A = this chain, B = another copy of it.
Amino acid sequence: MTEESTPESADTAGQTIAVLGGTGDQGRGLARRFALAGHTVVIGSRSAERAQKAARELVEGESARIDVRGLDNAAAAAAGDIVIVAVPWDGHRELLEGLVEPLAGKIVVDCVNPLGFDERGPYALEVAEGSAAEQAARILEGSRVTAAFHHVSAVVLLDPGVEQVDLDVLVLGEDRAATDEVRALAGRIPGVRGVFGGRLRNAHQVEALTANLIAVNRRYKTHAGLRITGL
């Protein structure tokens, strides 16, 4: 492993992590893992009540003490030092257009996969901006938009029996310091390694690859992830 692959200089330890759309499976899974890593985590949802309920259930599900709170998405965006966007693709644009101000200057981590499903399985949707991450960057001009955590299995993240998550997280973005911070954040989940994966214009295929991993899951009855070899 090269020095490059462990961004130890980027210290995310004291930061509050907000997860917008944090009541969904992927959002709750990430919230749980970052809370277990010692972060204060704020779950955001359209309804503050639903967010609070999801937060309470996460806290009650752990024997360790974790700090997870629930707020509406705007309040969560304001509260987070790093803000993860884990909403369904359907509501992505609308949500972000309403959060330009609270997200200004912050690291935003888009992990949305624009996928469709039909009788033949999953497939990648076309996105006018190229990808969910590029749409986010277009809307959130004042934020430091990155893309990451596309391939994490919510089932694995939520499974109390899985301590080590066997996964590399590809982190994309234009802002080197921001991608380094998100790589460090990924590395706070035991077993996970954050790997720089290119510029945002190459985010589409990383998002869309989730369709292939779903195909792998169906064929092999598993929860597939990725590792990058050669590092």
Contacts and interface: CB of A to CB of B under 8 A. Distances in A.
Interface of A: 2, 4-5, 120-124, 153, 166-167, 170, 172, 195-199, 201-202, 204-209, 211-217, 219-231
A228 B204 contact: no
A76 B76 CA distance: 61
Contacts of A215: 196-199, 202
Contacts of A197: 212, 215-216
In terms of DSSP, what is the predominant structure of the interface of chain A? mixed
A228 B228 contact: no
Nearest to A121: B199
Contacts of A211: 198, 202, 205
A196 B225 contact: no
Given A198-B211, A209-B209, A224 B219 contact: no
B124 A219 contact: no
Contacts of A199: 120-121, 215
Given A224-B230, A226-B228, A226-B229, A205 B4 contact: no
Contacts of A204: 124, 205, 208
Contact of A4 (B121, B122, B153, B220): B220
A41 to B, nearest CB: 25
A221 B166 contact: no
A207 B208 CA distance: 11
Given A205-B205, A212-B205, A229-B166, A5 B124 contact: no
